């Protein structure tokens, strides 16, 4: 049996089990506050814009800049407050590790230099969760909100030079989040797969006078997060 076939069978029987039994119909009504934890897969991206000085001064040897994105991993703790039947207020404490984005600078003559933007984040989002009508053990939801993010591994104080490509991001940033998910109710817990976009609101680049930051006008980190929530 292939891994793909096994995955399909697991999803099929899990869904059948969830829909066939009436698991804790009062889960969302019996308690105002629920706690839980999350396992989070991330994919880091980077939106950037070129500086007006891109083709001036020392930048006359730089052709263009490209990005490379990488997957990451995170864990989190959940605090959920039940407001009404369809609305929840939700917060999480998230630590994300192995989040990386590379900026590669392509110079004339085929020379390339790569700046590694490696990050370990602490996040604190505050979200509103809107839920659909529950159908047996299953309901859809959408979330949106704002968050604070601190980067423990920023390169603000890292030594740099004209030959050492360092691009530092501000350690303190703010982001907006939007996402969708499904609540699946089991006898003793609720399981929720969720897909969320988390994008920085403000420019995160730290200018240092070197070509690697002077050639850029702004950097806006982005994260695609796929979470498995257990409450």
Q: Give the pLDDT score at 13.
A: 45
State the pLDDT confidence band at 189, using cuts at 50, 70 and 90.
Answer: confident
Both structure tokens of 167: 């691009």
pLDDT score of 23? 64
Give the CATH number for residue 139: 2.40.160.20
Residues of the domain holding 198: 3-230
pLDDT band at 2 (very low <50, low <70, confident <90, very high): low
Q: List all residues 6 or more positions away from 124 whose beta carbon is below 8 Å from its beta carbon.
A: 91, 92, 93, 94, 147, 148, 149
Q: 202: which 2 tokens?
A: 């403000």
The answer, yes or no, to whether residue 15 has pLDDT greater than 60, is no
Q: How confident is the model at residue 98 (pLDDT cuts 50, 70, 90)?
A: low
Q: Is the pLDDT of residue 8 over 80?
A: no
State the pLDDT confidence band at 31, using cuts at 50, 70 and 90.
Answer: confident
Give 139-148 pLDDT, tens digit per residue: 999 999 999 9
Domain tally, the chain: 1
Question: What integer pLDDT is reported at residue 183 of this predicted model?
Answer: 92
Does the structure show a pLDDT above 60 at 5? Answer: no
SS (H, E, C) the chain: CCHHHHHHHHHHHHHHHHHHCCCCCCHHHHCCEEEEEEEEEEEEEEEEEECCCCCCHHHHHEEEEEEEECEEEEEEEEEEEECCCCEEEEEEEEEEEEEEEEEEEEECCCCEEEEEEEEEEEEEEEEEEEECCCECCEEEEEEEEEEEEEECCCCCCCCCCCCCCCCEECCEEEEEEEEEEEEEECCCCEEEEEEEEEEECCCCEECCCCHHHHCEEEEEEEEEEEEEEEC
Average pLDDT, the chain: 82
Say whether pLDDT at 57 is over 80: no
Distance of CA 107 to the CA centre of its chain: 31
What per-residue confidence (pLDDT) applies to 198? 93
Distance CA 194, CA 183 (A): 9
Q: What is the mean pLDDT of residues 135-164?
A: 86
């Amino acid at each position: 049996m292939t891994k793909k076939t096994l995955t399909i069978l697991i999803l099929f029987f899990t869904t059948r089990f969830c829909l066939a039994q009436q698991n804790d119909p009062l889960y969302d009504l019996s308690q105002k506050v629920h706690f839980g934890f999350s396992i989070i897969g991330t994919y880091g991206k980077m939106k950037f814009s070129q500086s007006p000085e891109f083709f001036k001064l020392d930048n006359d040897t730089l052709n263009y800049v490209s990005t490379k994105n990488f997957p990451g991993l995170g864990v989190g703790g959940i605090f959920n407050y039940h407001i009404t039947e369809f609305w929840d207020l939700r917060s999480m404490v998230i630590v994300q590790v192995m989040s990386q984005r590379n900026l590669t600078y392509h110079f004339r003559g085929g020379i390339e230099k790569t700046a590694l933007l490696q990050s370990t984040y602490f996040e604190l989002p505050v979200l509103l969760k809107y839920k659909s009508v529950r159908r047996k053990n299953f309901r859809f939801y959408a979330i949106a909100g704002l968050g604070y993010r601190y980067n423990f591994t920023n390169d603000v104080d890292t030594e740099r030079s004209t030959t050492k490509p360092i691009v530092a991001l501000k350690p303190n940033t703010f982001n907006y989040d939007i996402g969708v998910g499904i609540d699946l109710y089991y006898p003793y817990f609720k399981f929720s797969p969720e897909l969320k976009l988390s994008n920085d609101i403000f420019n995160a680049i730290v200018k240092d006078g070197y070509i690697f930051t002077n050639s850029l006008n702004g950097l806006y980190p982005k994260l695609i997060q796929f979470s498995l929530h257990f409450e």
